[in-house]
Amino acid sequence: MTDFPLLDLSAFYAADPEGRAEIGAEVDRICRETGFLAVTGHGVPQEVIDALWTQARSFFAQSPDEKHAVAPVSGGPYGYLGPGTEALAKSRGEDTPPDLKESFNGGPAAIPEGETDPDALAFCYAPTPFPALSGFKEAWRSYYAEMEALAARIMEVFAVALNLPQDHFAPFISSPISGMRALNYPAQDSVPEENQLRAGAHTDYGSLTILLPEPGSRGLEILTPEGDWKGVPPIDGAFVINIGDLMALWTNGRWTSTLHRVVTPPDWATKRRMSIAYFHQPNWHAEVKPLAGGATQSVISGPYLMQKFAAANG
pLDDT in tens, 210-264: 999 988 777 788 888 888 888 888 888 899 999 999 999 999 999 999 888 877 7
Strands (E), the chain: 6-8, 36-40, 79-81, 102-106, 179-185, 199-202, 208-213, 220-223, 229-231, 239-243, 260-262, 273-280, 287-288, 299-300
pLDDT in tens, 149-175: 999 999 999 999 999 999 999 999 999
Q: Model confidence at 193, in pLDDT bands (50, 70, 90)? A: very low
pTM over 0.85: yes
Distance CA 94, CA 292 (A): 32
Per the prediction, the chain carries an average pLDDT of 87
Q: Model confidence at 98, in pLDDT bands (50, 70, 90)? A: low
How many CB atoms sit inside 10 A of residue 132's CB? 9
Cβ contact 43:210 at 8 Å: no
Q: Model confidence at 1, in pLDDT bands (50, 70, 90)? A: very low
Give the strand pairing for 102-106 and 79-81. Answer: antiparallel
Cβ contact 271:252 at 8 Å: no
C-alpha closest to that of 13 among 54, 50, 38, 42: 42
Q: Model confidence at 288, in pLDDT bands (50, 70, 90)? A: very high
Distance CA 88, CA 201 (A): 7
Give the strand pairing for 260-262 and 239-243. Answer: unpaired
